[in-house]
Amino acid sequence: MWHLENTYHDQLPAQFYSNQSPTPVEIPEMVYFNKELAKELHLDKVLADVDFTKNILSGKAILDQTNPIAQAYAGHQFGHFNMLGDGRAVLLGEHVLNEQRFDIQLKGSGETKFSRRGDGRATLYSMLREYLMSEAMHSLGISTTRSLAVVKTGEPVYREQVSDGAVLTRVAKSHIRVGTFEYARVFSEPSHLEIFTKYVMKRHFPNLLAAENYALELLKAVMNLQMDLLVDWMRVGFIHGVMNTDNMSISGETIDYGPCAFMNTYDSNTVYSSIDHQGRYAFGNQPAIAHWNLSVLANALLPLIDKNQEAAVELAKEVLNPFREEFIKRHDAMMHRKLGIVHTNQEDGDLIKDLFTLLTKHKVDYTNFFISLKDPTILLGSSLIADEQFINWQKQWELAHQRNSDQEKGSLLMSQNNPRVIPRNHLVEEALNYAAGGNFEKFDTLIKILSDPYSEGNTLQVVPSEFDLNYQTFCGT
Ligand code: AMP
Ligand code: MG
């Protein structure tokens, strides 16, 4: 059963959204449907009729009780501030289940007030890409928006070439972004910042609303969630690709799968996005960018943190300054889990730092390296194993292991934190190209393998070395 509400529409001033129905499409065709997610949301029965569902999830038909909106937001894109908003998406409503609220959003649903020069549409290829990547992240145990369905619109989309259009149904804790706070601060009325912030806190951090300085508590809470999220990205080699402030969710979910990709060969400078010329969003830069984005959030919240601007800045800095140190702490703890080290010890020295140096030097596959700790045959043929420094590193790692009071726990930590499979770029592209052409066999197989990434049997270890050298991803608008 649908339990759709729209508190964003009902409780916020009109400046925060525009009433917007999806633009109906001619001949919708369901191409991918996430049965498991539908079940989790208790929507499996109501969505069982494909003919009905394809109309609802393409925007051809609207459910009676919905009040669809396009949300207003702003954001810093590659460091530059812009007015943005849902230019090709509408929020159908918030599906309420067991006191949890899930935004149900159609992406690629047609023009809105915020479309600027865009056509409001999306290609089948890019919506399938978001489906695959977001569901892979979910299976990796990483906080993310989900994908419920991809419906082909039956209408062409004009990009560099003509493509099939599609609508993705995205499910999220909310679509509230750092950029929505920037919008509230800059483009709405002064009194709206408080109304909006309290709305967000009631929705995501209700326990913090009573705090003396609720805005400062919000900043801390968002920072906390983002640190954990970034640690998780770094754990599996995920490169978001476009960490603009409008693509950073307040609820701590990975959002907006545009040019994202997974790193194969370890190199902190890895960039795949065709538009990221400066490497602003390179793999190793992501934590620093998250920190920068949080400072943008802090800036938007200043009037609520303290009426005196200087005092507000000081308070915000006190929250933000420990980011680096705290992030390194959490990141190292994560790396220890990947290495199966239960208790860290002074004698471990620079185990982590040295490992990164060695992986970079010998161009080792990040995912495979950690699997090789249990199965050394994987590294056969790599120059790494002949390197004196690595041989020493191994000895040190083994000592660290022997210090584990509980051997099984170390092994378990490794299995739980080292995926055996990630979405390998060459396989993602192959599957998507076939699927966009109507053949879903490879896409199905890949989705299936990626749904169980820590399982011992699974493996996608062979990576064609030349593939990534020229691999580029696109924003996919
Ligand atoms: P993104 O790069 O997906 O984070 O989008 C950045 C901004 O561009 C958002 O305001 C989007 O709504 C808008 N946008 C992206 N693609 C389109 C499109 N095809 N039509 C209209 N607006 C778009
Ligand atoms: Mg975006």
| 138-169 residues labelled b (16+ CB within 10 A) or e (exposed) | bbbebbbbbbbbbbbbeeebebeeebbbbbbb
Q: Is the pLDDT of residue 285 over 90?
A: yes
257 Cα: distance to centroid of ligand 2 (angstroms)? 8
Q: What is the pLDDT of residues 126-147, one digit of tens each?
A: 999 999 999 999 999 999 999 9
Closest protein CA for atom 2 of ligand 1: 475
Cα angle vertex 240, ends 39, 246, to 5°? 85
User: Cα 332 from chain centroid?
Assistant: 21
Give 247's pLDDT tier (boundaries 50, 70, 90).
very high
Q: Average pLDDT in the 175-201 region?
A: 97
**Across 40-44, 259-263, 416-420, 462-466, least confident range:** 462-466
Phi and psi torsions of 417, nearest 5°? -110, -10
Task: Say if ligand 1 is within 6 A of residue 84 CB.
Answer: yes
Residue showing tokens 């943005």: 84
Tell me how crowded residue 362 is: count the other CB atoms within 10 A of its CB.
19
Give 476's pLDDT tier (boundaries 50, 70, 90).
low
Closest protein CA for atom 10 of ligand 1: 84
Closest to 338 measured CA to CA, from 268, 269, 397, 262: 397
Closest protein CA for atom 15 of ligand 1: 477
Q: State residue 402's pLDDT score.
A: 86
Residues with CB under 5 A from ligand 2 (ion): 247, 256
Q: Average pLDDT in the 251-273 region?
A: 96
Q: Average pLDDT in the 263-279 region?
A: 95
Residue 139, SS3 per DSSP: helix
Q: Is the pLDDT of residue 121 over 90?
A: yes
Task: Say if ligand 1 is within 6 A of residue 119 CB.
Answer: yes
Q: Average pLDDT in the 180-184 region?
A: 98
Q: What is the pLDDT of residues 297-306, one digit of tens each?
A: 999 999 999 9
Q: Is the pLDDT of residue 477 over 60?
A: no
Closest protein CA for atom 16 of ligand 1: 477
Q: Is the pLDDT of residue 278 over 70?
A: yes
Spatial distance between the Cα atoms of 121 and 276, rounded to a whole number of angstroms = 23
> Which residues are the active-site residues?
246
Task: Say if ligand 1 is within 6 A of residue 121 CB.
Answer: yes
Task: Please answer whether residues 222 and 300 qualify as being in contact, where contact means their C-beta atoms are separated by less than 8 angstroms.
Answer: no
273 Cα: distance to centroid of ligand 2 (angstroms)? 15
Q: What is the pLDDT of residues 45-90, one digit of tens each?
A: 999 999 999 999 999 999 887 899 999 999 999 999 999 999 999 9
Q: State residue 456's pLDDT score.
A: 83
Nearest atom, ligand 1, residue 477 CA: 16
Q: Is the pLDDT of residue 460 over 70?
A: no
Q: Which ligand is nearest to the CA of 126?
A: 1
Spatial distance between the Cα atoms of 66 and 224, rounded to a whole number of angstroms = 34
Nearest atom, ligand 1, residue 119 CA: 20
Task: Say if ligand 1 is within 6 A of residue 87 CB.
Answer: yes
Residue 72: left if φ>0, alpha if ψ -120 to 50, beta else—which one?
Answer: beta
Spatial distance between the Cα atoms of 55 and 70, rounded to a whole number of angstroms = 19
